[in-house]
Amino acid sequence: MELQNLAPLEAKLGYVFKDQAMLVQAITHRSFLNEHSDFPYPHNERLEFLGDAVLELVVTEYLFRTYGNPEGELTNWRASLVNAKTLAGISRQIDFESFLLMSRGEARDANSKARMYILANAIEALIGAIYMDGGWDAAKAFIDKHILTHLKFILENELFVDPKSKFQETAQELLGITPSYKVLEETGPDHAKEFTVGVFLEKEMVAIGKGTSKQEAQVAAAEEGLKVKNWIKKSS
């Protein structure tokens, strides 16, 4: 099969690969090989393993050198920078998603939770590929440009704080009300349930959230509630 032109992707990344095979491997999801058994490149999971470690070390070193905060705070900041939601958002910002090689089924499932993890893992694989191709400095430059630049927004909006805690603290501070949560719907079999939960301020249902557990749905509802009430700034 003929590979797509990856020069536009390299332009978005700000890095040109010496070995294009490393970039092709980084964008190849395991599912793609199920439909293309003759594809000459492996999937990206080994690069993901490497990139995860490189990303964590670069971010950790930056936080350690830049801030004198206690370990617990730095740990929370780092988690907010390298979690799947943040990395998936970065992937979409640089249009990385459109270059990924996936099965037809995965490609259609654009808005699922599984897609978020595919995108996040691919960013880690990309970091691993840049590290293997250009070394520490190249990987660090990519992380500095595309990931660490999000730290200011995370700190300003306290995104390192659990959404439920932030929603409760803000509601109590501004309105003198403690939020409550109610399960609105349960769907699916026992092994794959989905919960729909509403977050309420007294009788007002502010927002709903969905998740594979009640806790996950409550967090999603609180996160949506922060947006509905405009208690969090919009990302630029």
What is the structure's pLDDT at 25?
A: 96
What 3-state class would DSSP assign to 177? coil
Question: What pLDDT digit, counting tens, does each position of 143-184 carry?
Answer: 999 999 999 999 988 888 888 988 999 999 999 999 999 999
Distance, in Å, from the CA atom of 94 to the CA atom of 34, rounded to the nearest integer, reads: 27
Please report where in the chains the tokens 């995104």 appear, as a residue.
159
Question: What pLDDT digit, counting tens, does each position of 68-108 carry?
Answer: 999 999 999 999 999 998 999 999 999 998 999 999 888 88
- What is the total residue count of the chain? 236
Write out the catalytic residue numbers. 52, 124
Is residue 205 scored above 80 in pLDDT?
yes
Ordered structural domains, the chain, with CATH: 7-156 (1.10.1520.10), 163-228 (3.30.160.20)
| Reduced DSSP (H G I as helix, E B as strand, rest coil) percent helix, strand, coil of the chain, to 5 | 60, 10, 25
| Contact predicate 4/28, CB 8 Å | no
End-to-end, the C-alpha distance of the chain in Å comes to 39
Burial class of residue 11 in the structure, from the number of CB atoms within 10 Å of its CB (0-12 exposed, 13-18 middle, 19+ buried): exposed
Angle between helices 45-66 and 113-146 (to 10 degrees): 50
User: Which amino acid is present at 150?
Assistant: H
Residue 216, token pair as written in the block: 């996950």
